[in-house]
């Protein structure tokens, strides 16, 4: 999705409402879904869908956000027969970009379990619905044990609340990088110093869901050395690395999450093998450091 005419290069924050489109899309997909299994057809109708969907544009990146409650009926018929039978109803209580597992009502779970037991009497599709929904999450949250992320005034973390993490995140990531030592192949070790982190981060709460938004660019000086079999340093080199696109882009399909640019101070032939190892293996190890930091940031 591109930004509006006024939003040059989609750089500024912009939100577009997709509530109606999302509801129509879900209903269309479910109404056209027909499952064939064990000699039965299973299909869905009578939809009650509520919720919201938005697409955000920021610094040329697209972020999708959706949250729906989906209720509908499931019916079935036996192959070769015109008779339709009413099966029951399904409730997906939390379908969102942060939770795509099905959560079913307890009574509906029991009904589905009983479908197979009643098969001989009512000619119902033994095991069809339970197998289709075998990934459903039937656990019920204990609200008393939920972590309190919002402020005291934000009862049950329901209202929108945002906490700025920029200062903490920049200092923490800089400290982690400056104290990191990466072991690469061929007994090569890579260390960082004078790291600089630019950008911003925030943690928001809405309807009991935590939304983490961040956008960073990292610049580091690095030094590397190669050890021989006696653990003595036989070669040293240094340079600079920048990491961009460290962003909470939920819709990204790019296999390479971050963009790396290595600069080598020593480019003579004798350093070519060492530089190649740093260039090819370094990004993967740096990604692990950043991903570990982001996991910690989610708990803030």
Per-residue model confidence as pLDDT tens digits over 3-14: 566 666 665 667
The answer to whether residue 174 sits within a structural domain is yes
Helix, strand, or coil (residue 170): helix
Of 64, 81, 105, the residue that ends a domain is 105
Helix, strand, or coil (residue 76): strand
The answer to whether residue 100 sits within a structural domain is yes
Q: Are residues 188 and 280 in the same domain?
A: yes
Secondary structure string (H, E, C) spanning 172-224: HHHHHHHCCEEECCCCEEEEEEEEEEEEEEEEEEECCEEEEEEEEEEEEEEEE
Overall pTM > 0.85: no
Query: The domain containing residue 166 runs over which residues?
Result: 161-298
Of 105, 122, 146, the residue that ends a domain is 105
Q: Are residues 176 and 287 in the same domain?
A: yes
Spans of the chain below 50 pLDDT: 100, 104-106, 115-122, 126-128, 132, 134-147, 153, 250-253
The answer to whether residue 113 sits within a structural domain is no
- Residues 6+ positions from 254 with CB-CB distance below 8 Å: none
Q: What is the pLDDT of residues 101-118, one digit of tens each?
A: 555 444 555 555 554 444
Structural domain count of the chain: 2
The answer to whether residue 54 sits within a structural domain is yes
Q: In a 10 Å sphere around its CB, with 0-12 CB exposed, 13-18 middle and 19+ buried, how is residue 198 labelled? A: exposed
Q: Return the closest-CA partner of residue 147 out of 298, 31, 30.
A: 298
Q: Are residues 171 and 276 in the same domain?
A: yes
Beta-sheet strands, E only, within 207-273: 209-227, 233-247, 259-264
The answer to whether residue 226 sits within a structural domain is yes
């Amino acid at each position: 999705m591109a930004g509006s005419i006024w939003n040059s290069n989609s750089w500024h924050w912009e939100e577009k409402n997709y509530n109606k489109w999302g509801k129509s899309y879900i209903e269309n997909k479910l109404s056209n879904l027909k499952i064939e299994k064990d000699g039965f057809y299973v299909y869905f109708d009578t939809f009650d869908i509520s919720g919201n969907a938005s697409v955000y544009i920021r610094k040329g990146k697209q972020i999708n956000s959706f949250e729906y409650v989906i209720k509908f009926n499931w019916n079935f018929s036996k192959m070769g027969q015109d008779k339709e039978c009413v099966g029951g109803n399904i409730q997906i209580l939390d379908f969102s970009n942060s939770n795509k597992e099905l959560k079913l009502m307890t009574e509906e779970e029991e009904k589905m379990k009983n479908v197979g037991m009643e098969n001989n009497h009512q000619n119902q599709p033994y095991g069809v619905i339970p197998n289709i929904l075998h990934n459903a999450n039937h656990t019920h949250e204990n609200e008393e044990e939920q972590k309190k992320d919002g402020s005291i005034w934000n009862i049950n973390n329901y209202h929108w609340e945002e906490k700025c993490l920029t200062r903490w995140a920049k200092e923490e990531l800089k400290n982690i990088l400056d104290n990191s030592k990466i072991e690469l192949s061929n007994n090569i070790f890579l260390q960082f110093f004078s790291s600089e982190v630019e950008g911003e981060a925030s943690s928001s709460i809405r309807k009991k869901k935590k939304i983490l938004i961040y956008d960073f660019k990292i610049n580091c000086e690095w030094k590397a050395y190669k050890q021989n079999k006696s653990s003595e340093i036989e070669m040293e080199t240094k340079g600079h690395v920048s990491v961009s696109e460290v962003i909470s882009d939920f819709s990204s399909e790019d296999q390479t999450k971050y963009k790396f640019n290595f600069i080598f101070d020593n480019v003579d032939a004798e350093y070519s093998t060492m530089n190649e190892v740093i260039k090819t293996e370094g990004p993967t190890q740096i990604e692990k450091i950043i991903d570990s930091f982001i996991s910690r940031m989610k708990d803030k």
